[in-house]
Structure 1
Amino acid sequence: MKSKYVILASALLISVATFAQKDQIKSAEKALKSGDAQGAITILKDAENMVVNAKDVEQAQYYFVKGNAYLDLANKKVEEGKNLSLAAESYKKLIDIEKASGKVKYSTQAATSITEIKGKLINAAIADTQSNKSIEGAKKLYDAYQLDKKDTINLYYAASTYVNAQDYDSALAAYEELKKLNYSGKGTSYTAVNKASGNEDGFNTANERDLAVKLGTHEKPKTEVIPSKRGEIYKNLALILVQKGRIEDAKKAVADARKTNPEDTSLILSEANLYLETKDFETYKKLVGEALQKEPNNADLIFNLGVISANAKNPVDAEKYYLKAIEINPNYSNAYLNLAALKLEAEKPIIDEMNKLGTSAKDMKRYDVLKAQRESVFRSVIPYLKKANELDPKNQDVSKTLLGVYKALEMTAEAKALKATM
């Protein structure tokens, strides 16, 4: 008889706890409605230990109110990123609970809120990166990915932003995840200009975009092919691994990627870049040759061969590659700049010899010869520097070098005109 009383007492305790929990959820809802989201969260935290034993419907209600409270704080810009993530976490828990129980009451609203949070996280991340808060932006992009793992582009952007923030450990983890997913990012974008806002809006399909244009809300439709991002992903993955001294891991990562995606030329370039970083120039040249067989008109590849030739003190080959890059792409500003730099290297031995000369008649005669040679070097680089300056007028290195050449040749009018644009 005594044991029955104990069971009855336990049942009463559970009942009292359940009522207390219900009251706390109602109190939290009331606080939230009155605008006190922080107060609602405090009330819910007091009920946190009891919610585990509550009925499914009460657990769902608890996480729904909790998610709403965190979202309200985020909307008020109170620790926005943190509270958006906490809100999403609460909503996901309630969706899991209702899915397991088969009783759906809050899931639809929660799913809508999660979509809203994802958009807010992405917009906040963009604002962070524009304010040079890359680490905060990267975290928000990664949280947006966690909310919707089908939208893998947010993981890609998170990885890139972690690199910009120099948080290489987080970047490595994100790139490793992209590697597991064999993410490419290749596709097609469909855009049109919104007549009301003037912004370029994206559409899921060409039909959706064309319908908006037909309805008159949008104009200037554009279709663009989005190239594979695998090359960039594996290049950055390899660079981080090399930086950490894990060179063999870097080589294996890129080699494995090439086996999985044999037709992706960008991966050959990533592997070539890895050997360039590790100063294995022979393997680099071999891989670049392989890539050139697939893309014989790739100006970047040919330009890089010019850089390697220059570093190897082979100016003849370097000039040949730079000129070939310009032939393929007449607007390749770096090729013009490097050509000028290559030719300017001929000035140093001339100056060294001039500085060693004395004042004898013989030396003065030699000085005049060397001076003419130096001026010839300067005149030879003017076309390249002028073109580089035309293509990239904001590049101070180009304009300063060109100005120095003009002054050395006493081209006063040209120097004055250039200086006015700097």
Structure 2
Amino acid sequence: MKSRYVIIASALFLSVASFAQKNEIKAAEKALKSGNSAEAITILDGAEYLSVNAPDAEKAQFLFVKGNALLDLANKNVEADKNLSLAAKAYQELVELEKASGKTKYSAQATVSISEIKNKLINAAIADTKVNKDAEGAIKLYDAYELDKNDTINLYYAASTYVNAKDYVSALKLYEELKALNYSGKATYYYAVNKVNNQEDFFKTAADRDRLVKMGTHEKPRTEEVPSKRGEIYKNIALIYVQEGKILEAKKAVSDARITNPDDTSLILTEANLYLETKDMDTYKKLIAEALQKNPNDVDLIFNLGVVSAGAKNYAEAEKFYNKVIELNPKYINAYINMAAMKLEDEKVIIDEMNKLGTSPSDMKRYNVLKKNREDLFRSTIPYLEKAVELEPKNVDVSKTLLNVYSALEMTTEYKALKAKM
């Protein structure tokens, strides 16, 4: 009889607790509807202990109202970062709870809100990076990835942003996560210009884009092939290890990557760059030869070989690679730009020496020699810069560089003609 009384009393307690939580949730909903999200959170925080023994349906409602209140606070810029994170957590708990219970009353709305939070985090991260708050941006990008692990591009961007923040420990952790996922990032993007606003729209499939082009709402369709990012990922892993003095770990990381992805030529470049960093020129040259043997006419590969060679200040070899790219694809604009930029690097050396000279006859003689060298250097860049402007007339940076060259050489006619087009 006594034990039966205890069971009845416990059931009565649960009933009272459930009733109390229902009232608190209703009060929180009322506060939220009146625009007082802070009060709603205060009410829910005070009733949170009651949710432990509450039925699943009430727990779900509690989490839904809590998520809505926190998101509303974030939208009002009240501790936005913190409340976005807490709102996402509440919605995720809700979705998991309803998934386990088999009832999905709030999950659809919660999923929409999670997507909204994800987009807000990405936009906030972009804003952070624009004002050099890379560490904060990286955290937001990783939080966005945590909300949708199918969208692995955010994990990649988070790792890259940590590199920009010089937080190499955090970056390495995320790169290792990308490595475990065997992330590539290789993709095909489809675009077309919207005739209404003249803006380029992105499409997930060629069929979606082509359908609208055929309907006449869009024009100028183009397809962009995004190359594999594995090379960059393993390169950064290796460089972080090198920076930490862990050369063996660096070499093993790239070696393992090549075994897993034998056809990914970007990894050959990564390994070559690693041996270049460690001054092992014999192995570096061997790997470069291997890359060329695999793809002798791959302009992207040859261009990257030029970049690696230029980075090692092996300008003669870099020029050979850039010229090969131009020979294979005369419209490969970056080859022209890099060639000109590489040549212009020598200007600083010339200027530094000119500034150190005095006014003695020997110094003036040397000055005239250096002046001519500088003018010859500028003239050597003109064909590459003019071709780059021809290929991409809206590239302001290239046009400005060419204007500076014209000005330095007192090519007034050419300067005015280019200026008029900008």
1:304 aligns with 2:300: no
2:380 to 381, 384, 394: 384
Code of the residue aligned with 1:182 in structure 2: it is N
Aligned residue in 2 for 1:326: 323
Q: Give the conservation status (yes or no) of the 8 Å contact 1:326–1:336.
A: no
1:138 aligns with 2:138: yes
Distance in 1, matches of 2:265 and 2:155, equals 23
Quickly say closer, same or farther: Cα 1:401–1:271, change in 2 above 3 A: farther
Distance in 1, matches of 2:107 and 2:371, equals 78
Aligned residue in 1 for 2:238: 238
Quickly say closer, same or farther: Cα 1:226–1:319, change in 2 above 3 A: closer
Aligned residue in 1 for 2:103: 103
Aligned residue in 2 for 1:207: 207
Q: Give the conservation status (yes or no) of the 8 Å contact 1:344–1:381.
A: no
Quickly say closer, same or farther: Cα 1:349–1:193, change in 2 above 3 A: closer
Distance in 2, matches of 1:291 and 1:72, equals 54
Percent identity between matched residues is 55
> Secondary structure at 1:158's aligned position in 2?
helix
> Secondary structure at 1:30's aligned position in 2?
helix
**How far does the alpha carbon of each residue in 1:401-421 deviate from its partner, in whole angstroms, 9 at most, with x for none?**
9799x6xxxx7x469998xx9
Range with greater deviation from structure 2 (121-130 or 178-187):
121-130
Aligned residue in 1 for 2:45: 45
Distance in 1, matches of 2:211 and 2:193, equals 13
Quickly say closer, same or farther: Cα 1:28–1:283, change in 2 above 3 A: same
**How far does the alpha carbon of each residue in 1:227-278 deviate from its partner, in whole angstroms, 9 at most, with x for none?**
1111111111222222223322221111111111111111111111222222
Q: Give the conservation status (yes or no) of the 8 Å contact 1:303–1:335.
A: no
How many Å apart are 1:122 and its aligned residue?
Answer: 2.3
Distance in 2, matches of 1:245 and 1:78, equals 44
How many Å apart are 1:380 and its aligned residue?
Answer: 4.3
Aligned residue in 1 for 2:172: 172
1:335 aligns with 2:320: no
Quickly say closer, same or farther: Cα 1:321–1:161, change in 2 above 3 A: closer
Quickly say closer, same or farther: Cα 1:225–1:10, change in 2 above 3 A: same
Distance in 1, matches of 2:62 and 2:32, equals 13
> Secondary structure at 1:198's aligned position in 2?
coil
Code of the residue aligned with 1:326 in structure 2: it is N
How many Å apart are 1:29 and its aligned residue?
Answer: 1.1
Larger Rg: 1
Code of the residue aligned with 1:381 in structure 2: it is L
Aligned residue in 1 for 2:391: none
Q: Give the conservation status (yes or no) of the 8 Å contact 1:337–1:384.
A: no
Distance in 1, matches of 2:217 and 2:287, equals 49
Q: How many residues align?
A: 399
Aligned residue in 2 for 1:275: 275
How many Å apart are 1:175 and its aligned residue?
Answer: 1.1
Q: Is there any run of 5+ residues in structure 2 with no aligned partner, and where?
A: 389-394
> Secondary structure at 2:77's aligned position in 1?
coil
Q: Give the conservation status (yes or no) of the 8 Å contact 1:141–1:158.
A: yes
> Secondary structure at 1:52's aligned position in 2?
helix
Quickly say closer, same or farther: Cα 1:85–1:371, change in 2 above 3 A: closer
Range with greater deviation from structure 2 (54-63 or 280-289):
280-289
Distance in 2, matches of 1:194 and 1:290, equals 44
Distance in 2, matches of 1:54 and 1:77, equals 32
Distance in 2, matches of 1:2 and 1:23, equals 32
> Secondary structure at 2:221's aligned position in 1?
strand
Aligned residue in 2 for 1:65: 65
Quickly say closer, same or farther: Cα 1:334–1:28, change in 2 above 3 A: same
Code of the residue aligned with 1:304 in structure 2: it is V
